[in-house]
Amino acid sequence: MEILTKDFSLAAQMVKLFDDNHDLIFKSDTPEITDRRKIALEVFKRLGFPDNKDEKWRNTDLKKSLQAEYNYYFEPTFQKGIDLARIFQCNIPHLETDMISQLNGWFISENGGIKKHADGVIVGSLAVAQKEFPDLFDQHFGRYADNEKSGFVALNNAFACDGVFIYVPDNVQVKMPIQIVNIIHHDQNIFVQNHNLVILGKNSQLQLVQCDDSVDHQRSLINTVTEVFIGENASLDHYKLQNKNDVATLINSLFFHQERDSRLSTNCITLNGGIIRNENYVRMNGENCEANILGVYLVDKFQHVDNQVFVDHAFPNCQSSELFKGIVDDSARAVFNGHILVRPDAQKTNAYQNNKNILLTDKATVNSQPFLEIYADDVKCSHGATVGQLDETAMFYLRSRGISIENSRMLLMYAFAAEIINHIKIEPLKIRIDDMVKKRLRGELSVCEQCVLHCSTMEKPINFEIDLSKI
């Protein structure tokens, strides 16, 4: 374990940490990967951690997060054979998933850290995959997560030694959703960097649920990079659930690389967290790609959520659609920055972008910046952003039927969020998220002893109709 103190620049300490620990960081590397790590570190030296002078970070202030004391580990922070069930249980009724877990960024393995299923699907630890499947690993690792995007990505590419590795071979449709649970649980402040790699072969299909949870109230800085390769005509249905404690800082960078005719749907649901920054990069690297990028965030107190979306339309005849909706309460802040790039050859591009917000107080703030950069002439693109209060006329309509102010507000907020929730294609997950959103809106959702997915008072999973009498 290494201690990063708050007395020196964290960036300088990270560089020193890298130089002092080559043996631990490089231990499973091929020379090629070691070289890439070194390059990434050089980029990090140049970029450093982002600050408010950087246009992309103007509205997200990390000073406090970067000036705290953290523990850093190059080895798992837990014993082999840990009983995960004692720390965490995912209790979504009727949700059957192939669940894999990470604790403080380290893969929790039961049998050697990796499993190869009969259909060729490989699921396991990134560290183990690096050793056992070096070809696959070298072919994809660090190829999509561009160091130049931010100091966090570069730092992760240099340091990350573990995470989740998923490989779906060509023509395989994975029936059961895979669920990655990423838990932070430690008795000290902790800085975690993990790196997930997901590879979908041609014509394959996968549903992937990524959960980020805290199970304690310690401060943490989490720098996660997930690289996803979606092969030709493959389809990925991806969900990201974020429920962190109020002193957690989560930097979550997702890189989706789509080959021709592939389909991506990604839905990011942020329910709680201190500072959460989601960077979604979608590269359309062939014709006829389709991407739906959705998100909903419900923040209050002094929470901060920042969603960045960059869609790179590099080839013709692709479609992308973004919709992010948020309800911002108390002194919370939300940031949205959407950037659609349509390159000169990407004719017949359809790209839509929308960000809608409801501000519940005068102190809550939203910074929304939709941005289109178009170099082709035969395209359909649109963007929009709204920030508003609850609709007065709708409030009057509901109240004129005898519904109280509180319940009318609740109904309208729920309805606002439901537009995103309704896109969830895994039914039990939809019901559960729906419950959580209702709880969140009522102020009943918090980081529980276990996880919010394990609420002691579970609501009845009925027909997806809200029992408004309970709201």
Partner 1 sequence: MLSIKNLHVAINGREIIKGLDLEIHAGEVHAIMGPNGTGKSTLAGVIAGREGIYDITEGEITYKGKNLLDLPIEDRAREGIFLGFQYPVEIPGVSITNFMRTAVNEIRQYKGLPQISAGDFLKKMEEAKKLVGIQSKLTNRSVNEGFSGGEKKKNEIFQMAMLQPELAILDETDSGLDIDALKIVANGVTALRSDENATIVITHYQRLLDFIVPDFVHVLFEGKIVKTGGKELALELEAKGYDWLKSEV
Q: Which residues bind partner 1 (CB under 8 A)?
A: 391-394, 396-405, 407-408, 411-412, 414-416, 418-419, 465-466, 468-469, 471
Closer residue to partner 1, CB minimum distance, 421 or 455? 421
When the beta carbons of 337 and 354 are compared against partner 1, the nearer one is 354
Residue 177 CB, nearest distance to partner 1 (Å)?
Answer: 25
Instruction: Name the DSSP letter for residue 176.
Output: S
**What's the closest the beta carbon of residue 390 comes to partner 1, in angstroms?**
11
Q: How far is the CB of 467 from partner 1 (least distance, A)?
A: 8
Nearer to partner 1 (CB atom), residue 82 or residue 403: 403
Distance CA 165, CA 372 (A): 34
Please say which residue, 1 or 415, places its beta carbon nearer to partner 1: 415
Total Cβ atoms within 10 A of residue 110:
11
CB of 309 closer than 8 Å to CB of 338:
yes
Q: Smallest distance from the beta carbon of 397 to partner 1, in angstroms?
A: 4
CA dist 217 and 448 (Å) reads 10
Nearest Cα neighbor of 223 from 275, 180, 294, 268 is 275
In degrees to the nearest 10, what's the CA dihedral of 64, 443, 180, 220?
A: 20
Q: To the nearest whole angstrom, how small is the minimum distance from the Cβ of residue 395 to partner 1?
A: 9
Return phi, psi of residue 83, to 5°. -90, 95
Of the two residues 309 and 410, which places its CB atom closer to partner 1 in the complex?
Answer: 410
Report the residue number, 141 or 414, with the smaller CB distance to partner 1. Answer: 414
Q: CB 328 → partner 1: shortest distance, Å?
A: 18
For residues 262 and 272, the answer to whether their CB atoms sit within 8 Å is: no
Min dist. Cβ of residue 392 to partner 1 (A):
7
In terms of C-beta density within 10 A (0-12 exposed, 13-18 middle, 19 or more buried), how is residue 135 classed? Answer: exposed
Q: Which is nearer to partner 1, 1 or 405 (CB)?
A: 405
Minimum Å distance from CB 461 to partner 1? 16
CA distances, 204 to each of 126, 165, 207, 238 (Å): 21, 16, 11, 14
Minimum CB separation of residue 188 from partner 1 in Å reads: 43
| Complete DSSP assignment for 415-469 | HHHHHHHTT--SHHHHHHHHHHHHHHHHT-----SS-GGG-SSPPP--TT---GG
Task: Using the minimum distance from each CB to partner 1, give the nearer residue, 375 or 397.
Answer: 397
* Chain mean position to CA 203: 25
Q: Which is nearer to partner 1, 376 or 403 (CB)?
A: 403
SS3 letters for 53-84? CCHHHCCCCCHHHHCCCEEECCCCCCCCCCCH
